[in-house]
Structure 1
Amino acid sequence: MTNSIVQTKFPYRYDVVGSLLRTQTLKDAHAKFKAGQITAAELQQVQHNETRKIVAKQVDLGLKDITDGEFNRSWWHLDFLWGLTGVDKYDYHKSYKFHGSKTRTDNAELSGKVAFNPDHPFFESFQFLQSITPDGITPKQTIPSPTMLFRDNRSDNWPKFYDTWDQYLADVAKAYHETILHFYELGARYIQLDDTTWAFLISKLHETADDPDAHAKYIKLAEDSVKVINQLLEDLPADLTVTTHICRGNFKSTFLFSGGYDGIADYLGQLNYNGLFLEYDSERAGDFTPLDRIWNGDKNKRIVLGLITSKAPKLEDKDAVINRINQASAKVPLENLALSTQCGFASTEEGNKLTEQEQWAKLKLVRDIAEEVWNVD
């Protein structure tokens, strides 16, 4: 991967995962739009105004890279997938299996061969974000990993459009590669691919340990995921940083998956990303034992420790977090570590169960700890 040989700046020592709580003004505008009381153009104007506010807030906090809070979407993943050529929206008629909460039943399905869409609405959204980002700050674009097309029945009808599964995977990788290149052409230099597939595999590989046939199915998913991700990352520009966030599910402060990284560490270690954001805010994530295998000795790669939860308002103890960073440095050198919240604050428009003020306090704590540990400003 071309860009891994020069990347050092990002992920920054204190980084933001992506989504932020939707403001009440934005929520009210969405309700009015659904009721037919305002137009799409009026809704977009509200979205732009509210995005300006949260960009300014991130800058005031001293963040070196900022996001649009994902204010342009309802779901962290589906809105992007629906924008690809060959992917359509449909009603799954099932809620995603979060612990203690039910989601809406939206989903995506193949409607043709998957391809890059030059008119994808996320391009316009990025251009707006870039236009309001001050000099010296990097606008970070988040999109779902291509592996999100492989799950939850989204690829069930691939034989309608492809002769082989490998042909389908090749098209997915190509569509993503071209999409990322277009973001780059528009000025993007920092892109993050969010991914729940690896946490899904943690659970499934453990559950099927005594069932060889079922286990082989999930091993194949892991291998296919590595292949597609590394293929889309090939020959990207040297000054483009691409990272991933390994998510365990995030909906109204609930979660989908539990378990340590041991079973997937070697696969994560094969991924040619510049950095990996790992959730480590609770015992559900296991300990730091697999970190060295995930990092895999790449001195140009950063592991971002998600030690500050985005699911609950209580602030973590600063010294306890610093102690955990020091523990992790026994597996990965401190210079290859960074800090973030464990996830975003609103992977869907509903958002987690804390206030905007509590959200900003969490991000300030991330910054304050990082400044002390790495002596950055």
Structure 2
Amino acid sequence: MNMIQIGKHDHVGSFLRTDAIKDARKAYINDELTAEALRQVEDVEIEKLVKKQIDLGIKAITDGEFRRSWFMHDFFWGVEGVSFEAVEKGYDFVGQTTRAESFKVTDKISFGNHEMVNDLKFLVDVVEKYGDGSQFAKYTIPAPTMFFQRVISEKEKEIYPNIEDLAADLIKVYQDAIQAFYDAGCRYLQFDECILSALDDPKLASIMENFTGLKLTDTTDLFVRVIKESLKNKPEDMIVATHMCKGNYKSAYLYTSGYETVSTYFDELGYDVYLLEYDDERSGGFEPLANIKNEDTQVVLGVVTSKTPELEDTHALKEKVKAASEHFPLERLVISPQCGFASTEEGNSLSEEEQWGKMEHIIKLSNEIW
């Protein structure tokens, strides 16, 4: 078994959409551009993005989520038995409210012939075309728990009267997704998580109960089991990571939570890599890292914020890594931005130049530390 090495710097996956992408998507929405023509624009811009990442020295290469509107909704919209839903109100972040879009279950769910498999194949081919063999495609999808971050309708309750039945089908969706992405050439798959990552924020319980009608205390064990079962058949030479996010929309956040509670599940969940936000005090201290006993697990410290353009002080960042190493071995630590630069197509409040400045800062810092 030859598992890829992610190196000492990583990134969460999404990048600011280029003007060409924004213009093409707007034209497509206004029926001024066909789906085929939109995809051609996306192809060109993704090729440019891949070359940019390779030129900077990045090894884990993504498509920047350039084909998506949301980091999570687009994946679920592509699942059979799921469709787009316009809702009365978007998600309430601190100082921002998202677009009022979601997804709904209209039939029994299955992975089916998901269009993102072709998106991944394109990325793999482009990485091979421009890389030197040391780079690899990294693909991001929402964690299975994110399927529950929405209002569950009465119609859906008729399709799935029992949440255990829904969970069983959701597990199968993810097992099939992992295998399909693997067969398409993916060796680094990332699940983006915004529920388990916020277990220590009291706000999460009320949000989840309002969405699903279920108490968080009754569903946490279910969520952990869904992830474990989703991962249990993953190929041995495939890395499956999770990004523990606190929300990222137009530089706004949703939750304030450390990792005290969720870290007690880290060994049980079965991920190979944990990408953890550590850009400010909202994420708490590094002590929970000591709860990871599996000696093969890696931790990616998101010490550089993706929400603002300013570059953090190098000495302060090194001190953060040093503090983390008191609770987790330095040789298994990696650094990255705290989140993506555009978890939705709107993007965060910084320029493309500032975004790449952040990535260069991280790469330089990683070379100095390791």
The alignment's TM-score, normalised by the length of structure 1, stands at 0.91
Report how far residue 366 of structure 1 moved.
1.1
Contact (CA 8 Å) 1:81, 1:87: kept in 2 or not? yes
Residue 84 of structure 1 is matched in structure 2 by 79
* CA distance in structure 2 between the aligned counterparts of 1:158 and 1:358, rounded to whole angstroms: 44
Question: Higher relative CO (CA 8 A, sep ≥ 6), structure 1 or 2?
Answer: 1
Alpha-carbon displacement from aligned partner over 1:151-197 (angstroms, at most 9, x marks no partner): 22147654312353212111101111111101111111110000101
Contact (CA 8 Å) 1:108, 1:154: kept in 2 or not? no
Greater CA deviation, 139-148 or 261-270?
Answer: 261-270
Of 173, 179, 182 in structure 2, the residue corresponding to residue 181 of structure 1 is: 179
Determine whether 1:121 maps to 2:115. yes
Of 131, 148, 151 in structure 1, the residue corresponding to residue 149 of structure 2 is: 151
Contact (CA 8 Å) 2:198, 2:204: kept in 1 or not? no
Contact (CA 8 Å) 1:306, 1:341: kept in 2 or not? yes
* CA distance in structure 1 between the aligned counterparts of 2:173 and 2:347, rounded to whole angstroms: 30
Q: Which amino acid aligns with 1:255?
A: Y
Contact (CA 8 Å) 2:4, 2:237: kept in 1 or not? no
Q: Classify 1:157/1:321 alpha carbon distance in 2 versus 1 (closer, same or farther; 3 Å).
A: farther
In the TM superposition, what are the counterparts of 1:60-139 in structure 2 within 5 Å?
Answer: 60-118=55-113, 120-133=114-127, 134=131, 135-139=133-137
Of 272, 279, 285 in structure 2, the residue corresponding to residue 287 of structure 1 is: 285
Of 192, 199, 202 in structure 2, the residue corresponding to residue 201 of structure 1 is: 199
Contact (CA 8 Å) 1:158, 1:168: kept in 2 or not? no
Equivalent pairs counted in the alignment come to: 360
Q: Percent identity?
A: 39
Q: Which amino acid aligns with 1:300?
A: D
Contact (CA 8 Å) 1:7, 1:300: kept in 2 or not? no
Residue 209 of structure 2 is matched in structure 1 by none
Aligned to 2:200, the other structure's residue is in SS state: helix
Q: Which amino acid aligns with 1:346?
A: A
Report how far residue 259 of structure 1 moved.
2.2
Q: Classify 1:129/1:261 alpha carbon distance in 2 versus 1 (closer, same or farther; 3 Å).
A: same
Greater CA deviation, 109-118 or 47-56?
Answer: 109-118
Determine whether 1:243 maps to 2:237. no
Report how far residue 200 of structure 1 moved.
3.7
Contact (CA 8 Å) 1:65, 1:137: kept in 2 or not? yes
Q: Classify 1:181/1:253 alpha carbon distance in 2 versus 1 (closer, same or farther; 3 Å).
A: same
Q: Classify 1:272/1:167 alpha carbon distance in 2 versus 1 (closer, same or farther; 3 Å).
A: same
In the TM superposition, what are the counterparts of 1:214-233 in structure 2 within 5 Å?
Answer: 217-233=215-231
Q: Cα RMSD (Å) of the superposition?
A: 1.9
Residue 31 of structure 1 is matched in structure 2 by 26
Residue 297 of structure 1 is matched in structure 2 by 293
Which consecutive aligned stretches of 4+ in structure 1 deviate over 6 angstroms post-superposition?
Answer: 205-208
Report how far residue 28 of structure 1 moved.
1.0
Residue 345 of structure 1 is matched in structure 2 by 341
Of 17, 23, 38 in structure 2, the residue corresponding to residue 22 of structure 1 is: 17
* CA distance in structure 2 between the aligned counterparts of 1:259 and 1:136, rounded to whole angstroms: 36
Of 44, 51, 59 in structure 1, the residue corresponding to residue 39 of structure 2 is: 44
* CA distance in structure 1 between the aligned counterparts of 2:36 and 2:4, rounded to whole angstroms: 40
Report how far residue 36 of structure 1 moved.
2.2
Alignment gaps of 5+ in structure 1: 209-215
Q: Classify 1:157/1:298 alpha carbon distance in 2 versus 1 (closer, same or farther; 3 Å).
A: farther
Q: Classify 1:247/1:168 alpha carbon distance in 2 versus 1 (closer, same or farther; 3 Å).
A: same
Of 320, 324, 329 in structure 2, the residue corresponding to residue 328 of structure 1 is: 324
Q: Which amino acid aligns with 2:366?
A: A
* CA distance in structure 2 between the aligned counterparts of 1:70 and 1:367, rounded to whole angstroms: 21
Report how far residue 37 of structure 1 moved.
2.0
Residue 273 of structure 1 is matched in structure 2 by 271
* CA distance in structure 2 between the aligned counterparts of 1:74 and 1:268, rounded to whole angstroms: 30
Report how far residue 146 of structure 1 moved.
0.8
* CA distance in structure 2 between the aligned counterparts of 1:269 and 1:358, rounded to whole angstroms: 36
Greater CA deviation, 159-168 or 323-332?
Answer: 159-168
* CA distance in structure 1 between the aligned counterparts of 2:242 and 2:154, rounded to whole angstroms: 25
* CA distance in structure 2 between the aligned counterparts of 1:102 and 1:124, rounded to whole angstroms: 32
Report how far residue 95 of structure 1 moved.
1.6
* CA distance in structure 2 between the aligned counterparts of 1:246 and 1:49, rounded to whole angstroms: 31
* CA distance in structure 2 between the aligned counterparts of 1:7 and 1:155, rounded to whole angstroms: 42
Q: Which amino acid aligns with 1:199?
A: S
Report how far residue 282 of structure 1 moved.
0.6
Aligned to 1:338, the other structure's residue is in SS state: strand
* CA distance in structure 2 between the aligned counterparts of 1:132 and 1:156, rounded to whole angstroms: 44
* CA distance in structure 1 between the aligned counterparts of 2:166 and 2:107, rounded to whole angstroms: 10
* CA distance in structure 2 between the aligned counterparts of 1:206 and 1:188, rounded to whole angstroms: 32
Contact (CA 8 Å) 1:205, 1:219: kept in 2 or not? no
Contact (CA 8 Å) 1:107, 1:154: kept in 2 or not? no
Alignment gaps of 5+ in structure 2: 207-213
Residue 212 of structure 1 is matched in structure 2 by none
Residue 307 of structure 2 is matched in structure 1 by 311
